[in-house]
Amino acid sequence: MNTPHHDPDYNFGYLDEQTKRMVRRALLKAIAIPGYQVPFGSREMPLARGWGTGGIQITAALIGPADTLKVIDQGADDTTNAVSIRRFFERVSGVATTELTEDATIIQTRHRIPEKPLEAGQILVYQVPQPEPLRKLEPSEAETRKMHAWAEYGGMYVRLYEDIARYGHVATTYSYPVLVNGRYVMSPTPIPKFDNPKMDDMPALQLFGAGREKRIYAIPPYTSVKSLDFEDHPFTVQSWTEPCALCAANDSYLDEVITDDRGGRMFVCSDSSYCEDRRAKGHVGKELATAEALAYVGHVEGGSDVA
Amino acid sequence: MYVAVKGGEAAILATHDLVAEERRGDVSVPELSVAQIREQMQLAVARVMNEGSLYDEDLSALALKQAQGDMIEAAFLMRAYRTTLPRFGSSVPLDTSNMAIRRRISATYKDLPGGQVLGPTYDYTHRLFDFALMASGEAPEAQTSADRLDAAMPRVPDILGDEGLMEAELPPEGDPRPFDLTRDPIEFPADRDVRLQTLARGDEGFLLGLAYSVQRGFGGNHPFAGEIRLGEVAVEFVPEELGFAVDLGDITLTECQMVNQFQGSKDQPPQFTRGYGLSFGHAERKAMSMAILDRSLKAREFGEAADYPAQQEEFVLYHADNVEASGFVEHLKLPHYVDFQGELELLRKIRREQEERAATMKEAAE
Amino acid sequence: MTQSVATHLASGLADPVFGSQTVFRTLLDALSAPGKVFTLADDLAGAPAGLPAAAASILLTLADYETPVWLPEGYDETRRWLAFHSGAPVASSKTNAKFALMDAASPDTHLGAFNLGEDRYPDTSTTVIIVCEALSGGSPQTLRGPGIQTTTTFAPLGVHPSFWDEIAENNALFPLGVDLIFVAGSAIAGLPRTTQIAGA
């Protein structure tokens, strides 16, 4: 096997082997208890707490020369922290990186699940700021741990129902809690609830790392993941009245881009790789020209694979 | 075809250059050396060693230089570096009763064996600018007593302990290897080794504020500064293959033991209870705050109602770490537009529905 | 004998960094797809007599001074080899074990003797490596649960008949319970506590 070139001042993947073993043991237990938060000896990383150190430690424990890594933040490969984390792994592991969802063996993400369905064999690593779905109900870790131990989730349903009574809707739009394998209530991290259904029965392995809170959890492939809801108020996801302004997709999560100071706005795919792929295949949104004028996208003659 | 405009990587690299430029400042002013920071900013160096959990004055000075004097950023550099160091084992417990003392005071006795040794302290300086420091001037040589300090300087809590009036400091059953905060996650309720380690690396400002809250009334303890001592202590290590202790050198420590009244309980007669603080370098404010909080966090052991923030271990331990806290607070700078879009969508939907309902009701009324 | 011990002491994973990474990824796959048989890459420079290569690779990848390992009688050479290569202490009892080795054919199939975890921390349970003759050719069991799309068949050879009842009982304890890794030669298959034996 070819050993990729990595910074010789650090072990491959940055973490020392003992730390990797510790993280790996936690990962295997996490898979065996879907949705349960395994405490782990989270290390101080050279990137700030809250900036993805949990996901980074998981990726560092997983990654090998045969991997191809994709890093996204807000669904996009070019957001600053995604760029920073990708550069970190290029330096400490030297492995190949990609922006194409289908080419990646490991996808580290913050706040989104890619639009393109993930396949068996791929691993999605989530960066988790707050792993505890019950924390807003109960600030004490000692208490929430007991609530999980005894599956005392009534308070969570009450909270969601209070929203319905007040607003007519559950007012949680991201980190929308899910029940995993019929047992543990889990925070899907701040992905928009739009992405929740993708977690259910996903063929890919989903791993979650909270560095500051020192927790790892997992959803094995083909595992039931249900968003908490009520018979009279079933779970729904966000929808938009118009398709993506760039690629005309009507099945993706859209970000709002303010185009002027007179209320002008357009809605574009949050998953930049998905959007580019569609445009490369000839899909044209209504405001592609506007976007070009705003230098939000560039026009490349004939190119098909430009980073 | 159209591609997203990607300036992320170039922009990030440019920020590194801008930081380097700002750090250097006006190039007509001579550059600070790490040795200058180490020698002339000792208290800052000590704070960074404490919050960075690593005793290395040179690296601490380098961290301060690299971080432009930002203490938390400097502590972060120390922590990240510390993670990469191999660990050979634990030292023999340090013996602060054998400290080479430079300062030692007790507020609980007028005089005691070994005496009150003021040493280097700002306590009785008048906080008036010394404009001589603005010009470069030689420091005056300190006039100290020609008498050597007493070799025997018993620790105040030990004196009280001999009388049976002080809570005994006993190792836990079986004297197990202490918990290591940097390698294992905290579980609650937390044992004292976990609490002391967290406090030792905790933010000085956070600890100070909480300790102050205890004194002002958000706490049930009335601390006396039993003793504060500053000086050098030998660090010894027993290599597995040698089987006897080897001296690794001396480190500077500040130790504070607070004495608190305790009314006694069913099982224990009334006695004084202990609050312990220990910090790298000269860091009295930190050691004193730590000692007050060590005592307040013993609420559970003494069966006291934990009514105040400083007595609630989850609150204190989870929020004392400034590297973690600043990471999480500052992560709000990262893009959150995906989640924000979710909130916008919901808010617009709720408003739309309310307006529709209002319109329907108006129609019905008309 | 002396020479054989010396040889074994000198050999572990050929490449500790990349060897353990590939072994770990296969383990991750195995626990993510219960009952599916995977073959470990041959990164092992040598293993003690009687210890299947897969078990040796797994222990070298996961065990260290933080993880007591429980070994049945007759694994003295493994004990010395493991102490040398991983620093893993021998578990004083089954309940103290983070990892354990067990012969599938042994009549003592009682999984409840291992650490099953506790309700607030079910992750503290033992991971048990089950040594089989082969991972196919035995009486087929139908499995379902997380990681399995519908059902799958698993037929390890040389498993004591009472073992499947033990596994069903272990599953009934969820979220407590041990997690199992079946090994034979360089083949492995995972059976986490979530996996149900159909019909059991």
- How far apart, in whole angstroms, are the C-alpha atoms of residue B160 and residue B147? 27
Determine the average pLDDT of the residues in C168-190. Answer: 97
Annotated catalytic residue: which of A13, A35, A55, A75? A35
Is A168 one of the catalytic residues?
no
Candidate from A16, A169, A296 with C-beta closest to B350: A169
**Same-domain pairing of A220 and A245:** no
Q: In terms of domains, do A218 and A297 share one? A: no
A206 lies in which domain range? 17-135+170-227
Name the minimum distance, in Å, from the CA of A161 to any CA of chain B: 16
> Is A148 domain-assigned?
no
The CATH code of domain C3-197 reads 3.40.50.11310
Q: Which residues of B touch A238 (CB under 8 A)?
A: 341-342, 345-346
Nearest CA in chain A to B183: A41
Task: Examine the pLDDT at A122 and tell me if it is beyond 80.
Answer: yes
From chain C, the residues in CB contact with A36 under 8 A are 122-123, 175
> A183 and A66 share a domain?
yes
A105: domain CATH number is 3.40.50.11310
Sequence spans of domains, chain B: 12-83, 96-120+151-170+179-326, 336-366
Per-residue pLDDT tens over the stretch B185-231: 998 999 999 999 999 999 999 999 999 999 999 987 889 999 999 99
CA atoms of B91 and A49, how far apart (whole Å): 29
pLDDT in tens, B97-139: 999 999 999 999 988 888 899 999 999 998 999 888 888 767 7
Q: A191 contacts in B (CB within 8 Å)?
A: 338
* Within a domain: A54: yes
A33-37, A288-292, C25-29, C164-168: which has the minimum mean pLDDT?
A: A288-292
Residues A104 and A182 in one domain: yes
What's the pLDDT at B146? 64
pLDDT at site A304: 41
Characterize the bridge pairing of strands C152-154 and C179-184: unpaired
At B7, the pLDDT band (50, 70, 90 cuts) reads: low
Between residues 337 and 366 of chain B, which touch chain A (CB distance below 8 Å)? 337-339, 341-346, 349-350, 353
CB contact under 8 A, A34 and C146: yes
Under an 8 A CB cutoff, do A174 and B3 touch? no
Q: How far off is chain A from B230, nearest CA to CA, in Å?
A: 30
Q: Judge if A28 and A95 occupy the same domain.
A: yes
- Is residue A115 assigned to a domain? yes
User: Domain locations in chain C?
Assistant: 3-197
Q: Of A186, A204, A227, which residue sits at a domain end?
A: A227
Cβ contact B4–A78 (<8 Å): yes
Whole-prediction pTM: 0.90
Residue A217 inside a domain? The answer is yes
% of residues, chain C, pLDDT over 90: 76
What's the mean pLDDT in C148-163? Answer: 95
Half-sphere exposure of residue A188: CA atoms within 13 angstroms, side-chain side? 28
What's the rounded mean pLDDT across residues A22-36? 98
Q: State yes or no: is A269 an active-site residue.
A: yes
A52 a catalytic residue: no
Q: How high is the pLDDT of residue C45?
A: 79
Read off the pLDDT band of B250 (50, 70, 90): very high
**If you average pLDDT over every residue of chain C, what do you get?**
91
- Chain A contact present for B324, CB below 8 A: yes
SS3 for chain A is: CCCCCCCCCCECCECCHHHHHHHHHHHHHHHHCCCCCEECCCCCCCCCCCCCHHHHHHHHHHCCCCCEEEEEECCECCCHHHHHHHHHHHHHCCCEECCCHHHCCEEEEECCCCCCCCCCCCEEEEECCCCCCCCCCCCCHHHHHHHHHCCCCHHHHHHHHHHHHHHCCCCCCECCCEEECCCEEECCCCCEHHHHHHHCCCCCEEEEEECCCCEEEEECCCCCEEECCECCECCCCCCCCCCCCCCCCCCCCEEEEECCCCCCEEEEECCHHHHHHHHHCCCCCCCHHHHHHCCCEEECCCCCCCC
Least confidently predicted of A198-207, B13-22, B155-164, B309-318: B155-164
Percentage of chain A lying above the pLDDT 70 cut: 96
The predicted pLDDT at position C62 comes to: 97
Q: Residue A7 domain-assigned?
A: no
Same domain, A258 and A295: yes
pLDDT the model gives residue A160: 93
For residue C82, pLDDT beyond 70: yes
- Sequence-ordered list of residues with C-beta below 8 angstroms from that of A37, at least 6 positions apart, any chain: A131, A132, A148, A210, A215, A216, A217
CB contact under 8 A, A36 and C122: yes
Examine the residue annotation and report whether A41 is marked as an active-site residue of this protein: no
Predicted local confidence at residue A291, as pLDDT: 86
Give the one of A24, A33, A221 whose C-beta lies nearest to C123's C-beta. Answer: A33
